[in-house]
Amino acid sequence: MMDKTDWKLLKEIADLEKTPLGAYNIRLNGQSDSRASTANIEITGKTDGKSGIEIRVKPGTKHESVHIPVIIHATGFSELVYNDFFIGEDCDVDIVAGCGIHNTGCETAQHDGIHTFYIGRNSKVRYVERHYGEGDANADGKRIFNPKTVVYLEEGASIQMETTQIRGVDSTKRETIITAGKNAEAVVTERLLTHGDQTAESDMEIILDGEGSSGRVISRSVAQDRSKQVFYPKMTGNNKCFGHVQCDSIIMGEAQVSSIPAIVAHHVDAQLIHEAAIGRIAGDQLLKLMTLGLTEQEAEEKILDGFLQ
């Protein structure tokens, strides 16, 4: 059974204050705490011996949602979970995932997840994934997330993927691979904040295979204190297509940020663009907010909140 700490984590990662409507699976310390399917969306446990679930959405399903949050509050607990999504043709669904770790002990708590999406013709998926960690600042236990997301988009399909990690995560290594078919579209928005001695690495590739396919990556990050971030966004065009990679980072204190975007064209009609910028908070922005009565720290927080929106 979930307690107040678990519900607090659910609020952070999935904006849930009570059991969600529609289809859902809430995973707590490696086990399914509660689960529900609907007439159009079925959630079942995997039968291949791996830990995880399968989500099947019937063709034509519109304006329904799936919530699959993960909660860990056991120090020393580590898991690898496989979640597979089978989205039928002509669907329009929202999927809310994410993981929250509350670790107050001396051992590491870790969640590794592999999510694979098979999105049918002309279907639209909005996928939201949030990672959040909390615990005793004096404890030695780490909070680690290593998510991998693999997406296959059939003709005319689209995915809007939003990933957010704001504070509390000691180490993360993200891997995202999206393959887009004819006239398919992939839009990935990534938001990340690290502080202290935290480390983060994001390795992302959108492969534009089909004629008329398009992809966009929007990455925004803030690195504070002594934290380290490395980004490898890549756009590959194998057909007549359009791709855009944009990476913007704010660096503070003694932090280190590396942004290494790549565009690779294998077709004469592939149009690919990349942009990358790393810099500090502009002094005139701080000064303007401070003249309105904010302290320097309050002004910094306002700027960072707006930047990561």
- Predicted confidence at residue 289, as pLDDT, reads 66
Q: What local confidence, expressed as pLDDT, does residue 201 receive? A: 96
How confident is the model at residue 135, as a pLDDT? 83
Place of tokens 């990556």: 217
pTM over 0.75: yes
Percent of the chain clearing pLDDT 90 (strictly above)? 72
Is a pLDDT exceeding 90 seen at residue 72? yes
Strand 62-67 to strand 92-96: parallel, antiparallel, or no bridges (unpaired)? parallel
pLDDT tens-digit series, residues 158-208: 999 999 987 889 999 999 999 999 999 999 999 999 999 999 999 999 999
In this prediction, residue 127 carries a pLDDT of 97
Given a cut of 70, is residue 137 above it in pLDDT?
A: no
Dihedral of the alpha carbons of 59, 62, 64, 68, in degrees to the nearest 10 = 40
- In whole angstroms, how far apart are CA 95 and each of 67, 125, 202, 250? 6, 7, 21, 29
Q: What is the pLDDT of residue 12?
A: 87
Expressed in angstroms, the distance from the first to the final Cα of the chain is 34
Q: What is the dihedral of CA 58, 17, 130, 81, to 10 degrees?
A: -60
Between vectors from CA 11 to CA 71 and to CA 101, what angle results, nearest 5°? 30
Length of the chain: 309
What is the model's pLDDT at position 236?
98
Contacts of 96 (CB under 8 A, 6+ apart): 14, 15, 65, 66, 67, 68, 69, 128
The two beta strands, 41-45 and 52-57, are antiparallel
Evaluate if residue 283 carries a pLDDT over 90.
Answer: no
One-letter amino acid of 253: G
Q: In the chain, pLDDT over 70 holds for what percent of residues?
A: 98
Tell me how many helices (H) and strands (E) the chain has.
3, 22
The angle, 0 to 180 degrees and rounded to 10, between the axes of the packed helices 296-307 and 283-290 is 120
The residue-averaged pLDDT of 7-22 equals 87
pLDDT at residue 95, as a whole number? 97
